[in-house]
Amino acid sequence: MEKRTHGWLGKYKELLAAITLFLVLDLGVLVFNTFTSHLIERDTALINTAGELRVYSQQLTKSLLTLRQEMQASEPIQSSLAELGEAHAAFTSALGQLRQAGQGSGLWRAPMDSSGQELLTQLDDYWGPIGEAAAPLLDNQHPAAMDVDGAVTKAVSRNVRLMQLADDLTRHLEEQAVSRAAWLRYIQVGAILLATLNFIFIVFKFIRRLLESDRQAESARRETRDILDTVREGLFLLGRDGRIGRQFSRSLPSLFGLPLQGGQPLEPLLQELLEEEQHEAARDYMDLLFNRKVKPALLEELNPLREVALKTQEGRRKGPSHLAFEFTQVQENGEVSALLVTVTDISRQMQLARELAVTEARAGSEVESLLAVLDQDPEQVRDFLQAGDTRLNLVNQALQDVKPDTRAYAELINQVFRGVHSIKGEAGALGLMDISAQAHQFEDLLTPLRRRHDLTGDDLIPIAFQVGELREKLARVQTVLARVNRQRQTEVGASHPFAELKKQIEHLALKVAEDLNKKVRIEVDFPSQAPDLDERLLRNLREMLPQLVRNAVAHGIEAEEERLQAGKFPEGTVRVEFLPAADGSLSLSVRDDGRGISCARIRARLLELGHTPERVQAMSEKELLACLFTPGFSLLEKAHEHAGRGVGLDLIRDMAARAGARLRLSTLPNTYTQFTLQFQPAP
Amino acid sequence: MTAPTPIKKALKPADVEVFAETIGHYFERITGEKALVRTAYLLETEAPPQDDFNGMIIVHGSYQGSVCFAAPRGLLTHVLMRMGQQEYSDADHLDIVGEIANTLAGRARRVLGEGLEITPPHTYTRAGRALPSPASGTPLVIPFTWQIYAAVLVVHLDVLG
Amino acid sequence: MTLKLLIVDDSTVIRNRIARLCQDMRLPCLEIVGLAGDGRQALALAEQFRPQLVTMDLTMPQMDGDECISRIVDRLPETRILVVSALSDKATALKAIKKGAQGFLRKPFSDEQLVESLLELIR
């Protein structure tokens, strides 16, 4: 602020000096005027005084003559004596004044010039004898006639000359006054002239400066205008009040595809241009730019409008399909006073990028993705594939079990989104870009659905498709991984197949439990000395065991609260036991200490499915349990997000049948459920 | 933009939606009430879901595979009733499920291509057997609801280039 | 002084990766006090251990990261939160920053990026 004042002073220093000078001059003229009038007054007084000398001289002469005549006629002489005294005193005083003025000094008493002085001396000389001759007559009531005669003679003989001298002095003083007055006038005029010149100087200087700054401002404005008229980018300033600045680049309206006026609020424009979600993000972002102390790098990263697709509005709005917005903070006194917004049309780039991405995705990324597996920790990739598979199975299961109402659909979509989102994140972390891209595409499908409140079953068809696509991508990586593993195993020496299976199902159980927010302990009891199992049996085990374990965790074990209410430990237990019998048969059991299967519930479901009450009531417990294994039968338990026991049981039954194993189910409500697979000895 | 033509293209959701629509409209036309898609999911088991009555078509050509509609007796009985039938024998039910499969075939030819070779509907009861599907991918199951009943459409198609 | 770190992500893979990186890399000043798979767990752990740092996923079951951040900021205003999330979550990330998270790391991230983001948060 201080600096600015200083600068301002600097800029106008010249003007200030000129104005000061002008004032000083004016003041000088004023003072000089006062002085001049004083001088003229004094000069006038002197001239008067000089003029009076003549009168007094005349008066004195006349009074002397009267006195002599009265004395001769012996008349009273008092009045002529008094007249004489007055005239004498007046003459002496006037002469004294003149003499004083003649000798005077100082500002107010300009000395009389030499010829004036000379006249005065002559006057004095002429007056001297008269004064002396008259002196004895004063203060004397009976002057001597001889004295009077002497004074008369002197006065008469000198009066004419004296009067002449007084006249001369008067004239001289008048001349002097006139010439002095002329001089003073010249000085006055000169000073006023100077002041006027000064004034003119100020006016000119000032106007020139104003014109100059106007010209500069205009040229700056024109430059800005030129820039704003020619740039392809949309440029504008956004004020704290959310309004677009008065000046913006000419391209802006065509970029927005909307008519535009300076000072218009940006908000409704964005609303027209952007999808609701992005619009909201943009609002949040600008709020952040204006108000929060966030690191610039982070701000840049967070810009939600860096690449943005505009609403098409059924082709009503003309203009680009994609825009890029860049925001720069304009700071003033450490505060963000405005945002400089740059808008670029990136429709073409986006289209190119899309085309390129599609081509690349077709050509390269699948191979890349598969190769990327080799760089990763196989353990992690396996974990990911298993988790991904589990997630997709859960999604598919949820799809299969969903109830036909909009709320359930909406919940389902969210659940699917979470699953897919996790897969995408993990795939990205492991560099499996093909999978992550597929998941991304899936998300793109889900995002608009998440906003809708009128979902129907038809909307789920593309979702099921995407599940298939994603699963296929995972399977491909799985295949590569399996081959790599086989190679590694033959290199290292095959590890025990049981150990791997054990690890796998432990992991699976914990994963499913975690997804469902349950607490589960898994106990896997495999014989340390594994029997020689043929490849086929091992494959069957690998297929069935995860299904059974998943079922046990997902459907058998209750949620923590439910368990606590039922008086159980919060942590559920799933026990997997694999027992080779002496006769060569094998038994595999999976037992959970969960809620068991309630026949009442199966009955209720059968009634829901349209079976007659008589028939349902007549069914034995065994028959009821058997229903669980019929394809498509599912118990929709409304309390449970991943509802539907019996899900996948038909699958297990099929697999068991193919493997030639017997499948047994035993359960006690609120206590346990156990599935046992009995494998016959190989012939 | 020209993309390399893959030997096997993925089936598009729209292809399946065509079949789902056909079922929905069939019920609407006959009974005045649309059959609603409840959901869609991938078939995990090898054996496709069967019901009391099943009608299936096998497709060869640029698309290859099977489309199957399975419905419970009660649902089909309703349809028969609305059509003015007096008798509700198994044969009648098989007839009607066959006709639905036929409708699917007609629609398939119109939408997926006239060059498709489509078998006459194969119908069977719960005791019967499905024909093996020539497709290799994962079948998609689309369950329907109509009043209290549930039926399923199983689409198992590969797209050949 | 060691800083207590809570890792929140619904993906085990990501959770373990962050944990492993913090242990392996040059971040001996961090002590991992908990791994949470959803918002509810995260909140419980945060209240129990009062961590100075939290890495937070946004899309999670039970309670979204968004909501979780609000609550953590509410109860532990000193705690600094690093949002670790995918690009598609930008709008959500913005909300999270508005609600009081200090950093944002985009998934997928490299080891270096994670370390950098955490160091940035500590500074």
Can you give the residue ranges of every domain in chain B? 8-160
Chain A partners of C37 at a C-beta cutoff of 8 Å? Answer: 514
Asked if A261 contacts A243 with a C-beta cutoff of 8 angstroms, the reply is no
Give yes or no: residues A140 and A153 share one domain.
yes
DSSP 8-state secondary structure symbol assigned to residue A661: E
* Cα A385 to Cα A205, A378, A430, A641, distances in angstroms: 84, 10, 11, 23
Give yes or no: residues A330 and A378 share one domain.
no
Whether B and C touch (3+ CB pairs < 8 Å), yes or no: no
Chains that touch A (3 or more CB pairs under 8 A): B, C
A171: exposed, middle or buried (Cβ count in 10 Å: 0-12, 13-18, 19+) = middle
Determine the average pLDDT of the residues in A658-664. Answer: 82
Chains that touch B (3 or more CB pairs under 8 A): A
Overall domain count for chain A: 4
Distance from CA of B56 to the nearest CA of A (A): 18
Q: Which residue has the higher pLDDT, A293 or A565?
A: A565
- Closest CB to A281: pick one of C38, C90, C106: C90
Identify the residue among C7, C8, C9, C13 best suited for mutation to test binding to A, counting A beta carbons within 10 A and taking the highest: C13
Asked if B152 contacts B49 with a C-beta cutoff of 8 angstroms, the reply is yes
- Any CB–CB contact under 8 A between C120 and chain A? yes
Share of chain C above pLDDT 70, in %: 91
Torsion of CA A273, A275, A276, A282, to 10 degrees: -70
The CA distance from A569 to A565, in Å, is 10
Under the banding of pLDDT at 50, 70 and 90, the label for residue A531 is low
The CA distance from C98 to C70, in Å, is 9
Report CB contact under 8 Å: B41, A464.
yes
Query: Considering only CA atoms, which of A235, A230, A238 is closest in space to residue A264?
Result: A238
Phi, then psi, of B145 in degrees rounded to 5: -120, 140
Give yes or no: residues A198 and A242 share one domain.
no
- Any CB–CB contact under 8 A between C80 and chain A? no
Last residue of a domain, one of A287, A316, A345: A345
Q: Is residue A636 pLDDT above 50, yes or no?
A: no
Whether residue A229 lies inside any domain: the answer is no
Asked if A509 contacts A501 with a C-beta cutoff of 8 angstroms, the reply is no
Give yes or no: residues A613 and A512 share one domain.
yes
* Cα A340 to Cα A129, A235, A479, A493, distances in angstroms: 106, 7, 53, 66
Q: Is the dihedral of CA C36, C40, C43, C47 positive or negative?
A: negative
Domains and CATH numbers, chain C: 3-111 (3.40.50.2300)
Q: Is residue A638 pLDDT above 50, yes or no?
A: no
- Any CB–CB contact under 8 A between C65 and chain A? no
Determine the average pLDDT of the residues in A524-551. Answer: 74
Give yes or no: residues A187 and A253 share one domain.
no
Q: Which helix (H) or strand (E) holds C4?
A: strand C3-8
Q: Is residue B8 pLDDT above 60, yes or no?
A: no
Last residue of a domain, one of A429, A464, A494: A494
Model pLDDT for residues A422-480, shown as the tens digit of each residue: 888 888 777 788 888 889 889 889 988 988 888 999 999 999 999 998 998 898 888 88
Asked if A327 contacts A303 with a C-beta cutoff of 8 angstroms, the reply is yes
Q: Is the dihedral of CA A593, A597, A600, A604 positive or negative?
A: positive
Query: Considering only CA atoms, which of A117, A124, A83, A122 is closest in space to residue A103?
Result: A117
Chain A partners of B76 at a C-beta cutoff of 8 Å? Answer: none
Q: Which of residues 332-371 of A touch B (CB under 8 A)?
A: 355, 358-359, 362-363
What is the count of residue pairs from A and B with beta carbons less than 8 Å apart?
94
Whether residue A45 lies inside any domain: the answer is yes
**A662: CATH:** 3.30.565.10
DSSP 8-state secondary structure symbol assigned to residue A333: T
The CA distance from A18 to A536, in Å, is 111
For C112, the token pair is: 């270096």
Determine the average pLDDT of the residues in B54-77. Answer: 92
Give yes or no: residues A161 and A277 share one domain.
no
Q: Is residue A492 pLDDT above 80, yes or no?
A: no
Report CB contact under 8 Å: A425, C12.
no
Whether residue A269 lies inside any domain: the answer is yes
Determine the average pLDDT of the residues in B117-133. Answer: 87
Tally of CB atoms within 10 A around C57: 30
Give yes or no: residues A327 and A378 share one domain.
no
Asked if B30 contacts B100 with a C-beta cutoff of 8 angstroms, the reply is no
Q: Which residue has the higher pLDDT, A627 or A496?
A: A627
The CA distance from A451 to C58, in Å, is 18
Q: Which of residues 87-126 of A touch C (CB under 8 A)?
A: none
Give yes or no: residues A457 and A569 share one domain.
no
Average pLDDT, chain B: 84
The CA distance from A492 to C17, in Å, is 26
A78-103 vs A13-72: helix axis angle to the nearest 10?
150
The CA distance from A422 to A387, in Å, is 10
Determine the average pLDDT of the residues in A583-592. Answer: 84
DSSP three-state, residue A403: coil
Question: What residues contact B54, with CB distance under 8 A and at least 6 apart?
Answer: B68, B69, B70, B71, B97, B123, B124, B125, B126, B128, B130
Asked if C110 contacts C81 with a C-beta cutoff of 8 angstroms, the reply is no
For A542, the token pair is: 């690998």
Asked if C49 contacts C26 with a C-beta cutoff of 8 angstroms, the reply is no
Give yes or no: residues A298 and A397 share one domain.
no
Chain C partners of A288 at a C-beta cutoff of 8 Å? Answer: 94, 97-98
Query: Considering only CA atoms, which of A162, A138, A165 is closest in space to residue A64?
Result: A138
Model pLDDT for residues C52-71, shown as the tens digit of each residue: 999 998 877 777 788 899 99
Asked if A262 contacts A246 with a C-beta cutoff of 8 angstroms, the reply is yes
Residue B60 pairs in a beta bridge with B117
Last residue of a domain, one of A315, A345, A375: A345
Respond yes or no on whether the N-terminal peptide bond of residue A143 is cis (omega within 30° of 0): no
Chain B partners of A461 at a C-beta cutoff of 8 Å? Answer: 13, 16-17, 20, 37, 40, 140, 142
Report CB contact under 8 Å: B36, A609.
no
pLDDT at A528: 61
Q: How far is CA B87 from the centre of its chain?
A: 25
Asked if A62 contacts A152 with a C-beta cutoff of 8 angstroms, the reply is no
Model pLDDT for residues A229-268, shown as the tens digit of each residue: 888 889 999 998 989 988 889 888 888 888 888 889 999 8
Residue type, A288: L
Chain C partners of A295 at a C-beta cutoff of 8 Å? Answer: 120
Determine the average pLDDT of the residues in A200-228. Answer: 88
Give yes or no: residues A513 and A477 share one domain.
no
Question: Which CATH code of 3.40.630.30, 3.40.50.1240, 3.40.1550.10, 3.40.50.300 fits the domain covering B8-160?
Answer: 3.40.1550.10
Residue C95 pairs in a beta bridge with none
Give yes or no: residues A18 and A91 share one domain.
yes
Assign 3-class secondary structure to C35-103. EECCHHHHHHHHHHHCCCEEEECCCCCCCCHHHHHHHHHHHCCCCEEEEEEEHHHHHHHHHHHHHCCCE
Angle, alpha carbons A517-A523-A524 (nearest 5°): 125
Distance from CA of C122 to the nearest CA of A (A): 14
Q: Which helix (H) or strand (E) holds A364?
A: none
- Closest CB to B42: pick one of A362, A404, A468: A468
Give yes or no: residues A50 and A66 share one domain.
yes
- Closest CB to C17: pick one of A415, A429, A515: A429
Question: What residues contact A351, with CB distance under 8 A and at least 6 apart?
Answer: none
DSSP 8-state secondary structure symbol assigned to residue A111: P
DSSP 8-state secondary structure symbol assigned to residue B126: T
The CA distance from A100 to A433, in Å, is 120
The CA distance from A156 to C38, in Å, is 142
Place of tokens 């009442």: A600
Q: How far is CA C114 from the centre of its chain?
A: 11
Chain B partners of A356 at a C-beta cutoff of 8 Å? Answer: none
Q: Which residue has the higher pLDDT, A490 or A485?
A: A485
Query: Considering only CA atoms, which of A531, A509, A507 is closest in space to residue A579?
Result: A531
The CA distance from B85 to A372, in Å, is 63
For C67, the token pair is: 């909501």
The CA distance from B66 to A393, in Å, is 24
Q: What ipTM is given for this predicted complex?
A: 0.87
Q: State the first-to-last Cα distance of chain B, in angstroms, to the nearest integer.
A: 18
For A441, the token pair is: 């595409």
Tally of CB atoms within 10 A around A567: 7
Average pLDDT, chain A: 81
Report CB contact under 8 Å: A631, B47.
yes
Place of tokens 């001298």: A165
Question: Residue A458 sits in which domain range?
Answer: 362-494
Query: Considering only CA atoms, which of A155, A136, A133 is closest in space to residue A63?
Result: A155
pLDDT at B5: 34
Chain A partners of C12 at a C-beta cutoff of 8 Å? Answer: 383, 387, 511, 514
Share of chain A above pLDDT 70, in %: 88
Write b or e for each residue in A230-243: b if 16 or more Cβ atoms lie within 10 A of its Cβ, otherwise e.
eeeebbbbbbeeeb
DSSP 8-state secondary structure symbol assigned to residue A574: E
Determine the average pLDDT of the residues in B57-61. Answer: 89
Whether residue A214 lies inside any domain: the answer is no
